Amino acid sequence: MSAVHLEVVGSIATLRLDNPSKLNSLTPEMLAGLDGHLDELDRAGDVRCVMLTAEGDRAFCTGADINAWGDLPPADFARRWVRDGHRIFDKLARLAKPTIAVLNGHAFGGGLELATACDIRVMAEKATLALPETGVGIVPGWSGTQRLSRLLPEPVLKEMALFGRRLAADRALSLGFVAEVSDDPLASARVIADRLLATSPRATEVTKYMIHAAVGEDAPSMIEALASGMIAASADKKEGVAAFRAKRKPEFPGA
């Protein structure tokens, strides 16, 4: 039975796709599990870093299980499958905690889009990346033409999405899409995660917001989060809340 497991050891959380018999293709149950775990991680103040990986070494994820969406009516395919998946992937992308995709094997279609929603990626030497959607009569639906276009050069993205060419690990590294190519990507990701633990939790969170605001990853929300965090520490906010509770006119100090 397919699932998504969450394990927290110290300050590092690991999300693991578990559908190896189908190359970790995503089912509705797995999307729901990922959705719930992301909500849990968003509230977990003791977690500093999230690693996303999968069972087995053949594939990280080969996309959405065709049996889950192949017979859906067009409206349901667009409204439920594509939009729900997009919402969940956006939730991963906008998680305040730094995230690392551990590509233990091939990442195709929705699997590549899932990895793209993470902050950085570590990739196995034998793994490849692909966007095979047009070969089955559909288009990338979970940010493959949007978020991925900010991380890969346009001609390379067109090679993959239009011509079906795979991107090998060494080329993905040279393009900056992956941070490291390793014969043990999980161990390499743990080294990166451990290094993060020496940094300021609040500073890394705010830095991620700043970068996302700059590149357009939910920029309005990121800008308001940064501004709200700043104003929440002000004497004006403290006075405003106190005045409201005391039912009096506030006397803002301007600090």
* Nearest one of 24, 103, 33 to 63, comparing CA atoms: 24
Name the residue with tokens 């346009």.
154
Do residues 59 and 106 touch, judged by C-beta distance below 8 A?
yes
**Cα–Cα distance for residue pair 118/129, rounded to 1 Å:** 15
**Given 29, 125, 133, 205, which residue is catalytic?**
133
Half-sphere exposure in the Cβ direction for 16 (13 Å, CA): 14
**Given 29, 40, 55, 113, which residue is catalytic?**
113
Residue 251 annotated as catalytic: no
**DSSP-H helix ranges across 167-234:** 169-174, 185-196, 201-215, 219-232
Residue 113 annotated as catalytic: yes
Other beta carbons less than 10 A from residue 163's beta carbon: 9
Do residues 251 and 241 touch, judged by C-beta distance below 8 A?
no
Do residues 15 and 51 touch, judged by C-beta distance below 8 A?
yes
201: alpha, beta or left? (left if phi > 0; alpha if psi -120 to 50): alpha
144: alpha, beta or left? (left if phi > 0; alpha if psi -120 to 50): alpha
> To 5 degrees, how large is the angle CA 215–CA 216–CA 220?
135
Q: Which residues are catalytic?
A: 113, 133
